[in-house]
Structure 1
Amino acid sequence: MHWYNKNKIQGAGHRLAVLAATLLVILGVSSSAWAAADAASFYQGKTVRIVVGFNPGGGYDEYARMIAPKLEERLGATVIVENQPGGGGLLALNRLAQGRADGLTMMLVSAEAAALAQLTDRPGTRFDLNKLAWLGRAVVDTRMAMWSAQNPERTFAEALQTMRTKGARWGATGLTDSVSDNTAVMAEALGLTEDQMSIVLGYEGTSAIALAVVRGEADGVVVSSTSAVNYASDDSAIPLVVLDRTRDPLFPETPTIFEAVELDEKGQWWLDFRTNITKLGRALVTQGDVPDERAEYLKEQVRLVLTDPELIAEAEATKRPLNYLPADKLKELVESIFSGLSEERKAEVTYVFTEKYVR
């Protein structure tokens, strides 16, 4: 489109938004309707950024680029995806939290990894999830425990017996990478000792860990169910259990860990606590001090985008499913994760997540 025509259209859209807001005042509508109209007027013709804390081409990048055009239509703005890789996405979240709170920048964040970093006081963490404005979750990944097909065991009971009698090596990339900490929580819930469970760090991504499992160099790995499909399809790795209370639709025959073994109260607490962190998933956030009317307007537009049947169908077709969770539910999850921990319990969580089983 010629730049003149585009500007002309955007200018007309802005004038219509202003006119609509004026009419609302004349008609004496509620202050909330006026605030929404004012926010809608603000976004007309602006440039909005969706920050992704990873390189182009990965899952986060693909989700952001799938969401951006739909959000652009709803906001009447130009929506661009900006990749800011580094620190597993945490560096970009630091920049967002300290950036200008004008409502023009949001981030598709690994809320799960961010919560783990904050819980364990990871060095360089300069954000507070309790102070962010949550806009909505795009997707959540169920965690699966996978076992090497090079090993003779074929069920969780058999694998657990081997872990108890001979010990086992499970792979991970680094501390609190959603692989190592899930593995550690599983071990803690099962009452395993450091000799029975060894978490080996240093693999360059889950695909590298999976390759080690396929080769029999590692006994197991915890991955998302969407990734587990790839490893189970050629029988190179065996799905043992789902680390949740409900089965995963992609693995309807695989039991949950709660079905596979009788867990005591302590074991159930560990798994439920970690599952709540998992439920944060990949979420859209912005600064907590963005003007209220803009934050509320963004929440509503994100809701409409992530529940759009057309986008849901597109996501399913590309094997990038959407599992929307509203902003208020996300905020409740965050509050429950952090507010329920005493200093003693937090220290215990940090020890289990980052030290106890790591080699």
Structure 2
Amino acid sequence: MNNPCTHARPMARMATAIGLALALSGAASAVMAEEFPNKPLRMVVGFAPGGGADIVARLVGAKMAESLGQQVVIENRAGATGTIAADNVARSPADGYSLFLGSQSTMVVAPSLFPTLPFKPEKDFAPVSQVVTMPLILVVNPALVNARTVQELTDHIRKSGDGTLSYASSGQGGPQHIAGELYAHKVGTKVTHVPYKGESAAIADVLGGHVPYMFANLPVALPHISSGKLRPLAITSLKRDPKAPQIPTLAESGFKDFEVSTWYGVFAPANTPRPVVDKLSRSIRTALDQGDMQAKLGEQGFTIVGSDSAAFTRFVGAELPRWSVLIRDIGIKPE
């Protein structure tokens, strides 16, 4: 007869070994977090300098450096809707020293447009903190389009004929592209999409008279609106923005439930130790709590979020299916 004890002893030893390994792993992570960081960090941005993502990264990175005691180097790797930068960070060591400033264009829209992406946002990244959110603003070059309302621009598009008119965006799959296609879908007329490698290049061509209109990030567009070089028609949030309360929403302008906002958040590679992720998250939220930081981001048109890792993870998980359905319903395809 088999003695149950002969089976119980090895199992007990195995359980003890597993418990010890987990304890050692947890202790190692705690020590790593306590020593972290002991060298400069890098935050990779998937868009060119001067755009909304770059502005946020540089402001947040500078404040993180103060609290962490190490420099946060901003590294711009523009192209492919931010996916080049995202892939670079996804393949980096999971030690907290490589971070990605992601947006919904890269982390929740691109997976629906490009099913063969080399990374999966929900599996290859650890969300650290959602930093800011903001609406887009529909602007026209008044020298090219004499429209003062969304209805006047709509009439102009319809009279121009299918595909004759074009609009600019910071890149395929970004919120500006999605907003442009959603608007064209609701207008019922084809419009030619002109993607650029970053918002700075896109808005430069609108200012230069090469493209008549675009959906721009509010902080990038505001200085050109103030100078009169761009004319604002509407914003893409459901409520008017307190930074520009005189500008109506698309929903008010005859496009019911029209809402496309953009957000930026910090991600680390998957399997980055939880204590390190939490330390990074606290550093970001500490930065966002400072009055001068709030003033600078507010002046740029951003609304501060500053979520912790758990809340940001839930948010991204809810965004993925929402944008997938929207892209499918509009019929957006890779160009």
User: TM-score category by the smaller chain?
Assistant: 0.7 to 0.9
Contact 2:141-2:213 at 8 Å conserved across structures: yes
Match of 2:291 among 305, 309, 314: 309
**3-state SS, counterpart of residue 94 of structure 2:** coil
With over 3 angstroms needed to count, the CA separation of the structure-2 counterparts of 1:262 and 1:46, relative to structure 1, is closer
1:134 and 2:131 aligned: no
Gap regions ≥5 residues in structure 1: 1-33
Quote the sequence identity (%).
22
**3-state SS, counterpart of residue 338 of structure 1:** helix
CA deviation after TM superposition for structure 1 residue 155, in Å: 1.6
RMSD (Å) for aligned C-alpha atoms: 3.4
Count residues in correspondence: 304
Separation (CA, whole Å) in 1 of partners of 2:115 and 2:291? 39
Aligned AA for 1:170? S
Q: Deviations over 1:326-350 (max 9, x none)?
A: 03343233212224578xx477257
With over 3 angstroms needed to count, the CA separation of the structure-2 counterparts of 1:44 and 1:210, relative to structure 1, is closer
1:178 and 2:166 aligned: no
TM-score (norm. length: structure 2): 0.75
1:348 and 2:328 aligned: yes
CA deviation after TM superposition for structure 1 residue 143, in Å: 0.5
CA deviation after TM superposition for structure 1 residue 221, in Å: 1.2
**3-state SS, counterpart of residue 259 of structure 1:** coil
With over 3 angstroms needed to count, the CA separation of the structure-2 counterparts of 1:170 and 1:144, relative to structure 1, is farther
Equivalent residue, structure 2, for 1:335: 317
Separation (CA, whole Å) in 2 of partners of 1:136 and 1:283? 6
**3-state SS, counterpart of residue 236 of structure 1:** coil
* Bigger shift: residues 47-56 or 86-95: 47-56
Equivalent residue, structure 1, for 2:111: 118
The aligned runs of 1:235-314 (5 Å cut-off) are: 235-261=228-254, 263=256, 268=257, 271-272=258-259, 274-275=260-261, 278=262, 281-314=263-296
With over 3 angstroms needed to count, the CA separation of the structure-2 counterparts of 1:82 and 1:214, relative to structure 1, is closer
Contact 2:29-2:273 at 8 Å conserved across structures: no
1:169 and 2:162 aligned: no
Equivalent residue, structure 1, for 2:307: 326
1:106 and 2:74 aligned: no
Contact 1:115-1:129 at 8 Å conserved across structures: no
CA deviation after TM superposition for structure 1 residue 182, in Å: 1.4
Equivalent residue, structure 2, for 1:21: none
Aligned AA for 1:83? E
Equivalent residue, structure 1, for 2:41: 48
Contact 1:50-1:68 at 8 Å conserved across structures: yes
**3-state SS, counterpart of residue 297 of structure 1:** helix
Aligned AA for 1:240? L
Gap regions ≥5 residues in structure 2: 1-26
With over 3 angstroms needed to count, the CA separation of the structure-2 counterparts of 1:61 and 1:241, relative to structure 1, is closer
Equivalent residue, structure 2, for 1:93: 86
With over 3 angstroms needed to count, the CA separation of the structure-2 counterparts of 1:41 and 1:144, relative to structure 1, is same
Separation (CA, whole Å) in 2 of partners of 1:230 and 1:199? 26
Separation (CA, whole Å) in 2 of partners of 1:132 and 1:288? 4
CA deviation after TM superposition for structure 1 residue 323, in Å: 1.6
Separation (CA, whole Å) in 1 of partners of 2:109 and 2:55? 23
Separation (CA, whole Å) in 1 of partners of 2:200 and 2:49? 17
Match of 1:153 among 116, 141, 147: 147
TM-score (norm. length: structure 1): 0.71
Aligned AA for 1:107? F
With over 3 angstroms needed to count, the CA separation of the structure-2 counterparts of 1:259 and 1:353, relative to structure 1, is farther
Aligned AA for 1:324? V
Q: Deviations over 1:138-175 (max 9, x none)?
A: 33232011133233332222222333344462322542
